[in-house]
Amino acid sequence: MNRMDQIVAYRCKKCGRIHYPCHDRCLDCKGRDFDRLVAEGDAKLLTYTQIFNLPWGFEVRFLIIGIVEFENKVKAMGQIHAASLEGIHAGMLLKPAWQPVRQVAGEAVYGLVLYP
């Protein structure tokens, strides 16, 4: 995946909980020491939804958003690149990419895009 270094989670050194995005303290044990953990491999789709009421700046009628879990247990949310929900189902493997998802004030905004 190109520019995947953008998806970095943090594993608590005390209890092992993975946090994405980063927190000052572990949500479980309140520890403050973390190891950096880069998302790796394909992503398994855990859940998804379709959004029709989009904020200003999106040039599409709707988005399909999914929560995925990478092979190393990092969880993240991203846009599923599909024309409809047909063929999309929980448990499927998706190919992740870090790409522009829209333009704001003439500049590209990057995000996680998932390909079936």
Q: What percent of the chain has pLDDT over 70?
A: 96
First vs last Cα of the chain: how many Å apart?
14
| Mean pLDDT, all residues of the chain | 91
* Rounded distance between C-alpha atoms, residue 19 and residue 63, angstroms: 25
Confidence bin at 1 (pLDDT 50/70/90): very low
Pairing of strands 75-80, 63-70: antiparallel
- Its pTM stands at 0.84
